[in-house]
Structure 1
């Protein structure tokens, strides 16, 4: 899917979020990466094969 040189990480790579943006819709809370990953504002992801990656943002705790 990616036409960049060097190629972006594939959707099954650990660093898949490093792929380039194809579409960005902050008003709707999502972005599409060139590897087919839908990246959501809450850090959740939807992979091209339908697999869901739960949000993984860090939770701040009081000291």
Structure 2
């Protein structure tokens, strides 16, 4: 359980990435969030139940002409 007040979002919530970071390893490219989610620098996620969220970084944005 999350000891924070207010509690961090659950791992299955849409805003799960808003949970607090409890372990950060930027040299390895990942962080562990309070809700058990492992967040990778490419925005991919590993959920506590073994589920995977594919990277969702907005890299395919259209460039608008000035």
TM-score past 0.5 threshold: yes
Q: Normalising to structure 2: TM-score of the pair?
A: 0.90
Number of residue pairs matched by the alignment: 63
Gapped runs of 5+ residues in structure 1?
Answer: none
Q: Normalising to structure 1: TM-score of the pair?
A: 0.94
Q: CA deviation at 1:14?
A: 0.1
Match in the other structure for 1:6: 6
- Distance in 1, matches of 2:21 and 2:39, equals 10
How large is the Cα RMSD of the aligned pairs?
0.9
Match in the other structure for 1:40: 40
Q: Is the radius of gyration larger for structure 1 or structure 2?
A: 2
